[in-house]
Amino acid sequence: MLALLAACGERSPGVAATRTVALNGAFVLRLEREPDPLTLTDDAVRVSDARGRILAARTRLDGPRLVIRLVVDAALLADPPRRVSVEVAAGPSLVGLAARDGGVMPPARAAFEVRPVLEDAPEGGLRLVAWEARPSAGGAVASSSSVVELPDGADLVLRFDGVLDPPSVTGDGVPLFPVRGEAELPAVRPGVRWSVVGTSSEVVLDLAGLELPVRLRTRRLALRSLAGRAPEPRLELLLSAAGS
């Protein structure tokens, strides 16, 4: 039998938890058998709201537990679900979860009440942990260098540990400084979009048409965590179009 887990304990199928889950919180399902991780695909888990709207989500396994977190962006925050349903397709099925021990797993379904707000990470900070070029054709090119070459039409993705305060994510809040020779020109403002999954955040900068190299300084970012803290660490990236 499937059990519904919330902060207050486990629940039976179809029984709402007495405490709601924040929009970026974890929806956790305990399954009777431990699933085979190789069968956990996008088709195996369906996440939707009370209107039948399919919601983007990230799913992982923790032993017999299925941990689901919504991908929260500006559109979802503006029209948040108040109730989330999770349906798990199970075997025998081409798209269903299979048990690690080879046994058959029955289909599972559970519903969660949702508190339509973001919840901060315990430490309340915002730490830049990775950056990468994301070409328009898909995929990503991670970088650990302070000099980043961007393929034509690629976005720059900044990944943070911590929960962004959405009103702080604007083009004005992410100034980029073009460089011509030894001279630094007045700041330009890129297109910006954001998302939060759990206590991790992502900011995507639209750098289409980039001609001159630009500098990004974290100390000049107006991005803030929900607790109002500025991004760390202080560093500088030099962004340029590949081959320029």
Q: Is the pLDDT of residue 49 over 90?
A: yes
Nearest to 70 by CA among 39, 112, 16: 112
Counting residues of the chain whose pLDDT is more than 70, the rounded percentage is 85
Q: Contact at 8 Å (CB) between 88 and 47?
A: no
What is the average pLDDT score of the chain? 84
Biggest alpha carbon–alpha carbon distance for the chain = 67
Please tell me the total number of residues recorded for the chain in this structure.
244
Q: What is the pLDDT of residues 148-179, one digit of tens each?
A: 888 777 889 999 999 999 999 998 899 999 99
| Alpha carbons 95 and 200: distance in angstroms, whole number | 28
Determine the residue type at 235.
L
Average pLDDT over residues 189-213: 91
Helix, strand, coil in percent for the chain, rounding step 5: 5, 45, 50
Domain 127-241 has CATH 2.60.40.1220: yes
Q: What is the pLDDT of residues 56-115, one digit of tens each?
A: 999 999 988 889 999 999 999 999 999 999 998 876 566 678 888 877 777 788 899 999
If phi > 0 it is left, if psi is from -120 to 50 it is alpha, else beta; for residue 168 that is: alpha
Average pLDDT over residues 185-203: 94
Q: Contact at 8 Å (CB) between 200 and 175?
A: no
Q: Is the pLDDT of residue 196 over 90?
A: yes
pTM: 0.84
Determine the residue type at 157.
V
Ranges in the chain annotated CATH 2.60.40.1220: 3-115, 127-241
> What does the pLDDT read at residue 169?
94
> What does the pLDDT read at residue 6?
39
Which CATH fold would you assign to the domain 3-115?
A: Immunoglobulin-like (2.60.40)
> What does the pLDDT read at residue 105?
78
Determine the residue type at 15.
V
> What does the pLDDT read at residue 89?
80
